[in-house]
Homo-oligomer: A and B are copies of this chain.
């Protein structure tokens, strides 16, 4: 029975992941989810309290891992100069994440409207952006660079999303992230 329960739970999660991935949280209907999962309407609620809680079950692990990685990488505000390898490290860690949770990552960052995570992508971009700015020397004209850094941060995040969308295997992802970083850094560093 325990096994059965897990099997159903996984079936629901898998079905919901597909539906959330296809349509985003708001448009995802519980009907489609239960049909895909082969589960009755009522039974869904034996496993998850609500559509929203089901969503969080799918997406929270990725969110928490991401937050942890960000704090590990950027948390200590003591890096005096911009450290390119830092971002590379970050990217690699996220890259690992993708091998298991690419759809969840995509859902979290681009299909979570209507949930408490709906600003997650913006937050991520802002954090990255702020971090980029911190590394400029004081005499730099931060005013002017603000939007550029935001664009750079967006690019990074969107590139990661794109890599997630096209994910083939770990090797593939890694080499693409490296390319991305190379591209990104040569773009950004010229402004230092």
Contacts and interface: CB of A to CB of B under 8 A. Distances in A.
Nearest to A125: B162
Interface string A26-65: 1100000000000000000000000000000000000000
Interface residues on A, range: 20 to 34
Interface in A144-179: 144, 147-148, 150-152, 154-155, 158-159, 162-163, 166, 175-176, 179
Given A148-B179, A155-B159, 6 more contacts: A26-B26, A27-B114, A147-B166, A182-B190, A183-B188, A183-B191
Interface of A: 24, 26-27, 113-114, 144, 147-148, 150-152, 154-155, 158-159, 162-163, 166, 175-176, 179-180, 182-184, 186-188, 190-191
